[in-house]
Structure 1
Amino acid sequence: MKNTELVKKVANFGVAWEGAYGYVQAIQVKDTIYLSGQLSHDVEGNFIAPAVLDKVGKPVDYSQMEEQFRQTYVNAKTMLAEFGATLDDVVEEGVFVLDGPSGFAAAAKVRKEMYGTNIPQCASSIFGVSQLALPVQLVEITFRAVIDRPSN
């Protein structure tokens, strides 16, 4: 009888919200790597480029969006590297932003910079949403990458 157990390899940053919410940052199944929504934090879990909030906890503007995008891609690259992958292996991304026009402008610039080309070779969707996980958060990106080698 053939063993049909699905082999999964996972990776985390070790930040507090992974345990609080109960999830992994990334998982590889066969030749596909799935990254949970990545956001703008350092290795200790400190938020990078937090939005300035008004008295009710809403962002006063979206000027930090570009810097949040940049750090989010840096974090995605770190997670992908755990599996021997790079942004070149990404086939799809889902971009979630609090403000569509600001998000589109910032994403257009930073995506080209991070992928190193004017037309990144991955499918991409951008969604304007009313709220993300953290009040200071303006951006979140999910990724799917395919590599030609299965997990060990």
Structure 2
Amino acid sequence: MGLDKDVKGMGMPWEDEYGYAQAVKVGDTIYLSGQLSHDAQGNMVGPAPLDAGNRILDHSNMQVQMRQSYENAKTLLGRYGATLDNVVEEVLYVTDMDAAFAVAGPVRKAMYGSQRPAVASTVLVTPRLALPAQLVEIRFVAKV
């Protein structure tokens, strides 16, 4: 017996290229794939400057990318009639921990509208994400 999955996407080319769902709802739980900082056309918002070898030169756009990643999560959650208030867990994957910690508190508090968001949160550093100019990716689990 299979699960009843309600799948949503954002129409990004990498959904078909990689072969995955941006969001899946099973029962009262919504799972969002890692969200990054793209606009509605799939263009990176606040791309990191890169050297000739596609290595990140600086992480000064961490805040811009983090905000857009949360905005994209809000869009997907909205397709299920949910909001960030429904989020119970998040995992932030970042390319620089110091840059992330410098902006994550204020960004998260603003996005969740709370000085202490009621969300379990984990931050992990990785040397690289899917796109070379990407500094952050955020995965969410929400309950409705």
Pair in the same fold by TM > 0.5: yes
Q: Do residues 135 (structure 1) and 132 (structure 2) align?
A: yes
Give the 3-state SS of the residue equivalent to 1:19 in structure 2: helix
Give the 3-state SS of the residue equivalent to 1:52 in structure 2: coil
TM-score (norm 1): 0.93
Matches within 5 A, 1:63-142: 63-142=60-139
- Give the drift of 1:5: 3.7
Which residue pairs with 1:150 in the alignment? none
* Alpha-carbon distance between aligned partners in 2 of 1:10 and 1:17, rounded to the nearest angstrom: 16
Backbone CA RMSD of aligned residues:
0.7
TM-score (norm 2): 0.98
State the identity %.
53
* Alpha-carbon distance between aligned partners in 1 of 2:106 and 2:48, rounded to the nearest angstrom: 19
Say which one has the larger Rg. 1
Where structure 1 has 5 or more consecutive residues not aligned to the other structure, the ranges are 148-152
Residues 85-139 of structure 1: CA deviation (Å, up to 9, x unaligned) = 1000000000000000111121111001100111111100000111100000000
Which residue pairs with 1:26 in the alignment? 23
Where structure 2 has 5 or more consecutive residues not aligned to the other structure, the ranges are none
* Equivalences, count: 144
Which residue pairs with 2:12 in the alignment? 15
